[in-house]
Amino acid sequence: MVKQIFKVLKDVFGYSEFREHQQEIITAILSGKDTLAVMPTGAGKSICYQIPAILSEGITIVVSPLISLMKDQVEQLKEYGIGALFINSSLTPVEYQNNIDRIISGDVKLVYVAPETLISDRLLPVIKSVKISLFAVDEAHCISQWGHDFRPEYRKLSDLREYFSNTPFAAFTATATERVREDIAENLRFKKHEQFIGSFDRPNLFIQVMQKYQPLNQVLDFLEKYPGQSGIIYCATRKQVESLCEDLQKYGYQAKPYHAGMKDEIRMENQQKFLRDDVKIIVATIAFGMGINKSNVRFVVHYDLPKNIESYYQEIGRAGRDGLRAFCLLLFGYKDIDKIKYFISQSNSEFERKLAYEHLKALVDYAEFYHCRRIPMLEYFGEEYKKKSCGMCDNCNSREKNMFDLTVPAQKYLSCIKRTGESFPDSYVIDILIGKKDPKINEFNHDHISTYGIGKEYTHRQWSAISQQLLKGDYLIKDDNRGPSIVTKKGWNLLQSKELFFGYIPKEETKKISVVSADFGSYDENLFKELKAVRKAAADKISVPPYVIFSDKTLIEMASKKPSSRREMLEISGVGQFKYERYGKMFQNTINAFLGEKRDDAVEDRKKPEVSQTIMKLCSQLNEGKTVMDLMTISKLKKTTIVKYMLKYVQAGYSFPLTNVDELLICSTSVQSSALKKLDSEKGKLVIVYNQMIGKISYDDLSLLLIKYLLEKR
């Protein structure tokens, strides 16, 4: 089983290794267990149900909430040579019926469907009439009211248990909170099941938070570093989207807007252009992004504050799905916070207000955090970041880590805490220090205490850094993680100048943006550009986004290793057999031409099999009256090997009597005739047909049928 799993990983998807948890999830599913997998975006959840789907008899139903996502996945699977289709409201009646027919005829391995469609009176009876190997519930958090995207129709999925009591369910989500996990397991009526929770760290994302002061200029500075790269800029309002987009266009950037207030067709067109690399930058509200699988998004900018840490995490998570380095910039403005606070105060529901304040506070804490940003981010998902420094966030990369004597500011801070009775949150204490005009401060009369406005020399963020260092150094403690700070004995000593305090002050950014360059390792940039152009042309021809053909990562590996043979090409991560058959030559030619060598036909030549002496000797005996059984006895080789030799022999132009094939075939005549038809329509491409028929026919049988096909064609 393990061997088969790895074989599909390599042959179909072109990858040599599994990522964290993938193999365990696949094994659990294949052994018929209900499975819940929580993995961040880009971790590779799809393969976890696609490989079992390919290896199992019957059809895997993939429940997915988004039409665009289904289309994307089906397109990708097609490019891997796997039969897949989707059923949703976007299909015409004829397309719908065609797809139903394909399900009934067993022509597909994966069926993507929206939950409401799945349990509809039209589809359910069809599903009940065929063999279903697995229900894979994607975006499973939609089942939970605690999730960020509750969809009531997901709740009805549990009804399926009535009809499919022995079919396993596998749920996938990138939402990690325990409440959501429990909800999923309960709603899908998981009994004994396996759970896998992946790390939420996305090590290839460089994360940076900047004070927002001249946002347009800041964005322009940022974009300058990533010429020609794809990225998303999130804004809080539709108006902001429109105006920023216009500004960027004025500066010569190819940018398009996306928000819910636009006409559907224009919005979809902009999205398509972005996916297909016709437009590099999309300026959008949070309406954009769910179901966007584009793997080469190189940056995500938050022009305004995100809604909460979870949405922020999801939004930046859309960058760097291909595993290459990507950049995330959050422009953090205190004015924005005041605006948000105002909106929150207008809400009628006490519960909502409380929740919104909690979210906002977590965001502010994150933005002001002075140590590695991965610490608070992962903590939000209940995960502890074990490394001291990630080297991939602004704080870890800051060069200004010189220590200063900060005794006086520390005393100001501690004294302000004392004067407010050690009962207010840090950010409020800081507001007093910097002399903020705030009704709440007036209300408590804190604008009259001696520490009001004595800390104007530093910004809010800088004070926050001091406060965090005081906490870390045990000058302050908190009752719980989030509550007000209390001055410790050590803090008292500092207040009374019995000890000194040394620490860091973060520099307030001016126009400079600290950027780590997009280092993808060494590769030939010009060749990469050419490969991208070839990919774009091929993608346009079949109307799919370029990343569906090969990811940027795959092209970069090609531009670095410059493969020169079929074998070397197949070693590139992301080049599976099917894709090789379809695109290998095209990309190989580009590489050859680039290298200035006239090796255009090298791939073709290599494909012409040479027949070794062994094969010649062995197979020619079939023309002397010997049977395959005789050959097995003579050579002590396995049937599989002999079949392989026979195929090579025939492919090289030799022949033998067809009876040798017929007596070895095991599969039924109906499978034989469907395989022969497929071999004919795919022009004898064995791997392609094998992938289409996985689970229905053995490789030996298919090879024998190919021999038959080739001999009959002569």
Element (H, E) at 331: strand 326-332
Residue of 248, 228, 230 lying closest to 240 (CA atoms):
248
10 binds ligand ADP (CB under 6 A): no
209 binds Zn ion (CB under 5 A): no
Closest distance between Zn ion and the C-beta of residue 390, in Å?
3
Q: For ligand ADP, which residue of 6, 10, 19, 220 counts as binding (CB under 6 A)? A: 19
Distance separating alpha carbons of residues 520 and 514, to the nearest angstrom: 18
Phi-psi region at 671: left, alpha or beta (left = phi > 0; alpha = psi -120 to 50)? alpha
Phi-psi region at 323: left, alpha or beta (left = phi > 0; alpha = psi -120 to 50)? left
Instruction: Return the number of the residue (217 or 398) whose C-beta is nearest Zn ion.
Output: 398
> In terms of residues, how long is the chain?
714
For β-strands 193-197 and 205-211, DSSP reports them as: unpaired
Question: Which x/- pattern over 461-500 shows residues binding ligand ADP (rule: CB under 6 A)?
Answer: ----------------------------------------
CA contacts within 13 A on the Cβ side of 707: 27
Instruction: Return the number of the residue (503 or 576) whose C-beta is nearest ligand ADP.
Output: 576
| Secondary structure class of 63 (helix, strand, coil) | strand
Pinpoint the alpha helices (H) of 420-551: 426-433, 439-443, 460-472, 489-495, 525-541, 546-549
The stretch near ligand ADP (CB under 6 A) out of 16-24, 162-170, 644-652, 677-685 is 16-24
CA angle 155, 157, 162 (to 5 degrees): 125
Instruction: Return the number of the residue (169 or 380) whose C-beta is nearest Zn ion.
Output: 380
Strands (E), 82-204: 84-87, 110-113, 132-137, 169-173, 193-197
Question: Which x/- pattern over 44-83 shows residues binding ligand ADP (rule: CB under 6 A)?
Answer: xxxx------------------------------------
Chain centroid, CA 201 distance in Å? 12
Sequence-separated (6 or more) residues with CB below 8 Å from residue 616: 649
546 binds ligand ADP (CB under 6 A): no
**Interacting residues with ligand ADP between 282 and 321 (CB under 6 A):** 293, 295, 321
Instruction: Return the number of the residue (44 or 503) whose C-beta is nearest ligand ADP.
Output: 44
For β-strands 230-234 and 297-302, DSSP reports them as: parallel
Question: Which x/- pattern over 94-123 shows residues binding ligand ADP (rule: CB under 6 A)?
Answer: ------------------------------
Instruction: Return the number of the residue (256 or 276) whose C-beta is nearest ligand ADP.
Output: 276
Sequence-separated (6 or more) residues with CB below 8 Å from residue 408: none
The stretch near ligand ADP (CB under 6 A) out of 38-46, 185-193, 331-339, 635-643 is 38-46
CA angle 570, 572, 574 (to 5 degrees): 95
The stretch near ligand ADP (CB under 6 A) out of 17-25, 79-87, 431-439, 679-687 is 17-25
576 binds ligand ADP (CB under 6 A): no
Indicate the DSSP class of residue 509.
Answer: P
The stretch near Zn ion (CB under 5 A) out of 136-144, 149-157, 395-403, 463-471 is 395-403
390 binds Zn ion (CB under 5 A): yes
Q: Are 382 and 201 in contact (CB under 8 A)?
A: no
Q: For ligand ADP, which residue of 8, 39, 569, 667 counts as binding (CB under 6 A)? A: 39
Chain residue at closest Cβ approach to ligand ADP? 44
Q: How many residues bind ligand ADP (CB under 6 A)?
A: 19
Closest distance between Zn ion and the C-beta of residue 379, in Å?
13
Distance separating alpha carbons of residues 680 and 713, to the nearest angstrom: 10
Sequence-separated (6 or more) residues with CB below 8 Å from residue 400: 504, 505, 506, 507
328 binds Zn ion (CB under 5 A): no
Q: Are 316 and 207 in contact (CB under 8 A)?
A: yes
Closest distance between ligand ADP and the C-beta of residue 139, in Å?
9
Distance separating alpha carbons of residues 134 and 137, to the nearest angstrom: 10
The stretch near ligand ADP (CB under 6 A) out of 13-21, 361-369, 422-430, 583-591 is 13-21
230 binds ligand ADP (CB under 6 A): no
Residue 243 touches which of Zn ion, ligand ADP, none (Cβ within 5-8 Å per kind): none
Footprint of ligand ADP (CB under 6 A): 15, 17-19, 22, 39, 41-47, 293, 295, 321-322, 551, 573
Footprint of Zn ion (CB under 5 A): 372, 390, 393, 396
